[in-house]
Structure 1
Amino acid sequence: MSAPRAPNSAAPPYDDPEKGTLEIQAVHPTVVTLGLSDKKGDTTISTEVVPAPPVKKETPAIPPAKKPSPKQLSSWTLLKLWYNTYRKFFTVVFTLNMIALGFTIAGYWQYPVRYPGALIVGNISFGVMMRNELFGRTLYLIVNTLFAKWSPMWFRLACTSTLQHLGGIHSGCTISGIAWLIWRVVTVFKEHRIMPNSILTMGVISNFILVICAISAFPWVRNTHHNVFERHHRFSGWSGLGATWIFVIFSDLYDTETGTYNFTGPHIVRQQDFWFVLALTFLVPVDIELPSPKVAVIRFQRGMQQGLLSRISRSAVWEYHAFGVISEGPHAKYHYLIAGVQGDFTRSLVNDPPTHLWTRQLKVAGVSNTSNLYRRGIRVCTGTGLGAALATCIQSPYWYLIWIGSDQEKTFGPTISGLIHRHLGPERYTLWDSKQRGGRPDVMKIVKEVHATWQAEVVFITSNYQGNQEVMAGCKEAGIPAFGTLWDF
C-alpha cells in the first residue's frame, strides 16, 4: 500500500462567487470555442458561455399536476425487470460451478481433487477481477472504441447491459469459490489424521470470514445498512482473501506422505493457485488526493472523461464510497463529486470537512461511459444523481439532461448550476424544481416527449429505488431502451 504523498500543488480555495457569498449580476453571454475530445479526433463546437444566473422564480413551462397513481404493470414486464442480465450471469456461473462440484463429489471429475485450490482461488480471483477498475476500464475502452455509433442497435444495447451487469459474474464466482472452499475444508477434515491442525484452523477461519463477507453483500443489507456493507464486505473480503491465500498455499505445500512442508521454489511455481493469488495481490492501488474544502461539493485536481465513478474514504482500507464524477473534460482543471447527506460517512463530510481523502487513482467506469456508443440519448436523474449524469451531457452535445430536485439552485449551489448553464443550452435540458413547481412531475410524460423530439436512442436513469423502478417500468412498457441504477448488486 502506498503511503500518502504530498500533492504537487494544492487546489486553490473557492472564491466568493463559488461559495455563493456574492450576488451574481446578469452578464451578456460571450461566444467561445470548446474542444470536445473523443477517440477518433477533436471536435470543435462554438457555444454560448453564460455565468450562473441569479436565483429567480420562473413560470413553470409545464403546470404542476397531480402525481399520477402507479400504473399496474403486467407480470411479464415485472419478470423482465427482475430477471435482468445481472441475475442471468449469476445463474449461469453458479449453476455451472455447482454441476462441476456435484461431479467432483460423485467422483466423476478428478481435476479438483488433484488441484483442490484451483477452483477456489480461480473463482474468487475472477470474481474480484470483475470489480477491478483496470479490467473494467479496459473492457469499456474496447467496446467504445470498436462499436460506437455504427454497430446494430441491439448489439450496442447488449454491450451496455453486459458491462453494467458484470456484478452478476462477480457474485456468481465469489459465492461459487466459497462453496468450493467449504468442500475443500470438509475433505481436509476427513483427512485430519494426516493434516496439521494449523491448516484445519486456517480453513475454518477462511470459511467464516468469507461467509460474513458474502452475507454483508446481500441486497437488503447493502441498500438499508450501507455502512455495514462497506465495513464488513471490504474489510472481510480482503481478510478472507488473505486467509484463503494462506490456507490454499500451505495445503498445497504440505506433503501428506512425509508429513512435512515442501517450500522449494520449483514446487511452488508449479502450483496454479500461486499464480492466481499473485495476480490478485497487485490489482488495486490506493493513493491520496487533496479535495476542496467545499462542504457538499468536493473538488479534486485534474479533469476526467465522462461516465466515471470515484471511490473515496477517510481511511485507506476501512470503507470506500462511490460517487459520480462531474468534469468538463479530460483536460479540465478540476473534477467534482456531489456528496449528499444520506449516511454517517456523507454526514461526516458535511459536519467535519476533511482536508485530505483517500481515493483510487484509477476510476471506475459506470454505465454512462457507454454513452459514446449511441448517437443521441437522454440522461434522467433526481437529486444527487446529477453527479453521475452531468459529465455525460457536458462532454457530449448529443445528450439531453432531465434533472428533478428540490430547491436546486440553493441546495447544490452556484458551482453546479454554473456548470449546467455554461455548457448546456436551454434546448438541451429540463430542470424541474419540485419546490418551485409545487411537487414532483409525471416523469414518464417528460421522458416520452423528450424521447420523441430529441430522437434519442437510449435513456440512462440515476435515481432512488422508487424513481428508478417507475421510469424503468415506464420505458419498458413504452418500448424505450433504458438502463437504470442497480439495486440487486
Structure 2
Amino acid sequence: MPFNVAYVRRDPDIADGPSASAPPSSDPPRTNSVQDPEKAEDLGRTKSSLANYVVPTLPKGQKTIVKPVGLWTRLRVWYNPYRMLFTAAFVLNIIAIIVAATGHWPYADTRSVALALGSIAVAVACRNEFLLRYFLYWPVVRLFQKWTPLWWRIVLTSLVQHIGGVHSGCAASGVAWLAYSVVRAFQRHARRHTPAVVLAWGVVTLVVAVVVMVAAAPRIRHYHHNFFEFHHRFAGWLAVVFIWIFVCIADSYDFATGRFHGDAGRLVKMQEFWYTLLVTLFVISPWLTVSKVPVEITIPSPRVAVIKLHKGIQQGLLGRISRTRFGEYHGFGIISEGTGSGVHYMIAGVQGDWTRRLATDPPSFLYTRELKFAGLPYLAHLFRRGICICTGSGIGAVLSTCAQLDNWFLIWIGSDMEKTFGPVLFEIIYRNIPHDRSILFDTKKHGVRPDTMQMLRDVHDTFGAEVVIITSNPQGNAELMQGCKANGMHAFGPLWDS
C-alpha cells in the first residue's frame, strides 16, 4: 500500500559525538573485551555513506507500518529453536515413558526415578550461570568466531540462545518421569508391599515438583512475575530437599528382606544419589557468589533508574540484583566501556513494584551475583559485522556491545531520550561510538516515528551486517523479527523465558 515518507537528518546534538554540553570524563580509558584479531575491520566506504545517512520517517501520527507477511514467515518466527528444542526433549522422553510402560524397556521401568533425576539435572544445568558461560558460550565463541561459514554461526547462535528450550523440555520430562515412578510404585504396592513412607514421600515430592513447573508457565511468569519468583525458587529448593529424602528412603529399603538398611556404601553406588548431588550443586553454586555491593542510583526521569556499580565488565554479560540476599532478583543488561573502565551501569525501566521502589526509595547497597551470566550479545564476537537495534531501556542490553566492538552498529529509538535516560549513556556513546556507526532517533524531538524496517534494511546492506540483534518490547520485537525474516536478514531477539 503506498504511503508518504518524510526524511529527517539525525540530530547532530545527539549523534555527532561529544557536544559542548557533554562534560569530559574522568573515568579510565576503556579496555576492549576482544583481542586484536577481533578488532574492527576497515569500514572504508561504509563510514562515509552512513555518516550522511538520512533516516526515513513515517507520516506524522502514524506509529508503524505493519506490512503483511506470509503465514509461513509468522510460523517460522513463532516456532523458534526454543520451541523446537523443547519439543525434541519432551517428545523423546514421553516416547521413552510409553516404551517403558509397555514393557519394552525394563531398565527404564525399574530406574524411572534415576531417569527423572537425570532429566532434572540437565534442566538445572541449562540455567547454571557458570556452566553456560564457561562451558557453552565461551567455547562456542573461541572455536567458531568469524572464520566459519555464516550459516554455521547462525545455527550455533540459535541453539545457544535458545538453550532454555532444553531446560524447560527436560524439566517437564523429569516431572513426567517422576509421575510415572510414583504411579508404578502404587501399582507394585500390592505385590511388593512398598512401605507407605516411600509412597507418601513420592507423592509429596511430585506435588512440589508440579508446583515448581506450573509457576514457570509462560503466562504465569509474564503476568504474575512475583508468584513465579517466589514459587519457582523456594518451592524448587524445597523440591531438592524432598528429592533427597525420597531417594534416601527409597534406596535404603530392601525389597528382598522387607526392611530398611543403613548401608551408606550401597546408597552412594546408586545413580539416583549422584543425580541428586548434581542437581544440588547446580542449584547452590550461583548463590555462593552473592555479595552486597555499594551502588549509586540516579533518577533522570520518573520512568528510569540508572544504577552505577564498581568494576568494569566485558560486553555481552548480564547481571542480577536484589535488595535482599535471597529475595526477588531481577536481571539487567550491563553497560560498561570495558574491563578497565572501573564502573558499569544497569538501566532499570520503572515498570513493576520492585523497579518503582528503586526510583522512589533508592538504596545505597544492593545484592548481586559476582558471577555475571552471558547473554545473546556475548555471541556478537561470532560475526564480522552486526547491528544492534533497540527501543527505550533496551539500550541496556546492547550498548556495551557497540561501545566495545568497533564492528557493530547501534540504532536506538526512543522518546525524549536525553531527558529520560540522563547524560551518562550519551557520554558513553559520545566517547566510544562515532557518528558513522550509530543512529539515535528521538521520536518526541522530531515529532514523527522512523520507518524502522526501511532504515534497518538500508543500514544492513550498507554496513554489510551479517546479523541483527533486537531488544524491544514484545510487539516491536515480533514485528522486526518477521520483517527481518521476510527480507532475508538473520535476526535474534529477547525470549522473556526467565
Give me the TM-score of the superposition, normalised by structure 1. 0.87
Counterpart position of 1:55: none
Q: Which residue of 1 aligns with 2:175?
A: 178
In 2, Cα distance between equivalents of 1:29 and 1:216: 46
Q: Is the 8 A contact 2:389 2:469 kept in 1?
A: yes
Matched, 1:282 2:281: yes
Counterpart of 1:388?
397
Paired residues of 1:292 and 1:298 also in contact (CA < 8 A)? yes
- The farther-off stretch of 331-340 and 350-359 is 350-359
Q: CA deviation at 1:411?
A: 1.1
Mapped partners of 1:206, 1:231: distance in 2: 18
Counterpart in the other structure of 2:138:
141
Deviations, residues 383-442 of structure 1 (Å, cap 9, x unaligned): 111110101001101101111111111111111121111111111111111211224322
Residue type matched to 1:135 in 2? L
- Is residue 122 of structure 1 aligned with residue 118 of structure 2? yes
Q: How many residues align?
A: 453
Q: After the TM superposition, which residues 348-367 of structure 1 pair with which residues of structure 2 at under 5 Å, given as runs?
A: 348-367=357-376
Shift of 1:83: 1.2
Partner deviation per Cα, 1:134-155 (whole Å, 9 max, x = no partner): 1111211101101111000000
Task: Decide whether the 8 Å contact of 1:305 with 1:327 is kept in 2.
Answer: yes
2:367 is aligned with 1:370: no
Using a 3 Å threshold, how does the CA distance of structure 1 residues 177 and 26 change in structure 2: closer, same or farther? closer
Q: What 5-or-longer segments of structure 1 have no aligned partner?
A: 1-22, 46-59
In 2, the alpha carbon distance for the partners of 1:91 and 1:349 equals 39
Task: Compare 129-138 and 244-253 and name the one that shifted more.
Answer: 244-253
C-alpha distance after superposition, 1:206-260 (max 9, x if no partner): 2212212211212212222222222222222222222223212321222233333
**Matches of 1:27 and 1:75, distance apart in 2:** 51
Aligned to 2:155: 158
One-letter code aligned to 1:156: R
CA contact (8 A) 1:36 1:42 kept: no
**Deviation, structure 1 residue 63:** 5.2
1:26 deviates by 6.1
Matches of 2:367 and 2:442, distance apart in 1? 34
The root-mean-square deviation of aligned C-alpha atoms, in Å, is 2.5
**1: distance between equivalents of 2:166 and 2:384?**
29
- 1:207 is aligned to 206
Question: How many angstroms does 1:282 deviate by?
Answer: 2.2
Show the counterpart of 2:46: none
The one-letter code sitting in structure 2 at the alignment partner of 1:133 is: E
Candidates 38, 43, 51, aligned match of 2:34: 38
Q: Is 2:98 the counterpart of 1:102? A: yes
Q: Distance in 1 between matches of 2:411 and 2:386?
A: 11
Secondary structure at the counterpart of residue 466 of structure 1: helix
Offset of residue 184 of structure 1 = 1.0
Change (3 A) 1:425 1:257: same
The answer as to whether partners of 1:39 and 1:145 remain within 8 angstroms in 2 is no
Which amino acid is the alignment partner of residue 183 of structure 2?
A: V
Partner letter of residue 297 of structure 1? V
Amino acid at match of 1:441: P
Q: Which moved more, 1:193-202 or 1:156-165?
A: 193-202
Where in structure 2 are the equivalents of 1:33-112 lying within 5 Å?
Answer: 35-39=31-35, 62=56, 65=59, 66-112=62-108
Q: Distance in 2 between matches of 1:26 and 1:148?
A: 36
* Residue 337 of structure 2 is aligned to residue 331 of structure 1: no
How far residue 74 of structure 1 moved from its aligned partner, in angstroms, is: 0.5
Partner of 2:295: 292
Partner of 2:485: 476
2:207 is aligned with what amino acid?
Answer: F
Deviations 1:338-396 (A, max 9, x none): 11111121112222222322222211111111100001100011111111010100110
Check the 8 A contact 2:120/2:171 in 1, yes or no: yes
Distance 1:454 1:261, change over 3 A: same
What are the Cα deviations for residues 419-471 of structure 1, in whole angstroms up to 9, with x where unaligned? 11111111111111121122432211111111111111100001110010011
User: How many angstroms does 1:186 deviate by?
Assistant: 1.4
- Misfit runs of 4+, over 4 Å: 23-30, 32-35, 39-45, 60-64
Amino acid at match of 1:185: V
Identity across matched positions, percent: 46
Aligned AA (1:379): C
- Structure 1 residues 210 and 108, CA, compared in 2 at 3 Å: closer, same or farther? same
- Name the CA distance, whole Å, in 1 between partners of 2:436 and 2:443: 20
> Structure 1 residue 62: deviation in Å?
5.0
2:333 match: secondary structure: strand
Q: Deviations over 1:458-485 (max 9, x none)?
A: 0000111001001101000000000011
Partner SS state of residue 339, structure 1: strand
State the structure with bigger RCO (CA 8 A, min sep 6), 1 or 2.
2
Distance 2:64 2:22 in 1: 38
**What CA distance in whole angstroms lies between the structure 2 residues aligned with 1:196 and 1:317?**
37
SS in 1 for 2:406: coil
Structure 2 CA distance for partners of 1:354 and 1:90, relative to 1, 3 Å: same
Rounded to whole Å, the distance in 1 between the matches of 2:188 and 2:25 is 79
Deviation at 1:37, TM superposition (A): 3.9
Contact 1:126/1:173, CA 8 A, preserved across alignment = yes
Aligned residues of 1:291 and 1:298 also touching (Cα < 8 A): no
Provide TM-score, normalisation by structure 2: 0.85
Deviation string, structure 1 residues 183-209 (Cα, Å, up to 9, x no partner): 111122234463333322222222212
What is the alpha-carbon distance in structure 1 between the residues aligned to residue 328 and residue 64 of structure 2?
40
- Structure 2 alignment gaps of length 5 or more: 1-18, 42-53, 299-304
Match among 433, 438, 451 for residue 442 of structure 2? 433
CA contact (8 A) 1:383 1:404 kept: yes
8 Å contact 1:234–1:319 — kept in the other structure?
no
Change (3 A) 1:278 1:29: closer
d(CA) in 1 for partners of 2:297, 2:25: 27
Match of 1:265, as an amino acid?
Answer: A
Q: 1:439 to 1:189 in 2, by over 3 A?
A: farther
Q: For residue 201 of structure 1, what is the amino acid of its counterpart?
A: A
